[in-house]
Amino acid sequence: MTERFQGYLYLTLAMIMVGSTVIASKLIAAGLPPFIATALRFAVAFPLFLALMRLTRTAWPRLERRAWLILILQAGAGSVGYTTLLIAGLRYSSATDAGVVIGTLPVVSAGIAILLLGERPSRSTLIAIGLAAAGVLTIVLRPDDGAEHSTLGITLVFAAVFCEGLFILINKRIRTPIAPLALSTIMAGMGVGVAFVPALFEASSMQDVTVQSLAAVLYYALVPTVAGFILWYAGSARVSGTEASVFTALAPVSAVLFAFVLLGEPVSVNQVAGIGCVLVAVLSLAVPHLRLKAAGQTRS
């Protein structure tokens, strides 16, 4: 298995976990304020990351001041911004709508990679982005089902998407290589610090906490946070930022499927067509590298 294909596999698994955060956030929104939930998420994840670093003997990176400032920005905009805005948005919006809005992530991430990082995507990568975008539009432009759709909720979720786009790509600006586990630990620790003070203000107005919301926070911390962070950074280290942005299209796919299986929400023909476009986009990146590997093995 080539390094690049390993990256594709890791990114796929990470984005499936990101899609599941829509369901978890919907459950959390019903019983916890967003900053308290975010602080709890990272408070659970941080010691686990520290334990993994000790177990694997992963060293802390030696970074210059500029790199630490970038990491703080990444943690504030992505780790805390994405979680709090998604939870807040799901107080007003359905899980299906949130999953659809998350589908704009490939376009937002690709724009950040090209404009902010100065990357020049290859023709095949642009085609893959186009396919992913087509899949997103197919889902977004579904016929009106007569249901109520909250403008406020959708706006908050889209703001979360923008934060996530910054989160997954801004670390490319750091010149010093950082081990994925060390970077995940830093993000979790900074996430606790950034969310702590706003969480204190929320505590005074907190109402009854449900067991379901606490269980959802625990899931969020263990699966998308711990496992998802490691997989994403391990994958993004093996591919370009533009290529990585294509895999973010898998987030709405998994979100729609989770909403259907776990919440019983219907899936329309448009949504199925959109999922198909997204899967083709991902395969269009992976298949050429599989062919090259097979050709190399044949020659040897």
What pLDDT, on a 0 to 100 scale, did the predictor assign at position 134?
Answer: 80
What pLDDT, on a 0 to 100 scale, did the predictor assign at position 43?
Answer: 96
What pLDDT, on a 0 to 100 scale, did the predictor assign at position 33?
Answer: 92
What pLDDT, on a 0 to 100 scale, did the predictor assign at position 78?
Answer: 83
C-alpha torsion 26→31→37→41, nearest 10: -70
pLDDT tens over the chain, length 300 residues: 688 888 889 999 998 998 898 999 999 998 899 999 999 999 999 999 999 999 999 999 888 888 898 899 888 988 899 899 999 999 888 887 788 788 777 777 777 777 777 777 777 777 877 887 787 677 656 555 555 557 788 889 888 988 878 876 776 677 778 887 888 899 899 999 999 999 999 887 777 788 999 999 999 999 998 988 788 878 888 887 767 777 877 888 888 889 888 888 777 777 678 778 877 877 776 666 555 555 555 554
What pLDDT, on a 0 to 100 scale, did the predictor assign at position 236?
Answer: 83
What pLDDT, on a 0 to 100 scale, did the predictor assign at position 131?
Answer: 80
Using an 8 Å Cβ cutoff, are 119 and 251 in contact? Answer: no
Query: What is the tens place of the pLDDT at every residue in 78-94?
Result: 889 989 999 999 988 88
Query: What is the tens place of the pLDDT at every residue in 151-179?
Result: 788 889 888 988 878 876 776 677 778 88
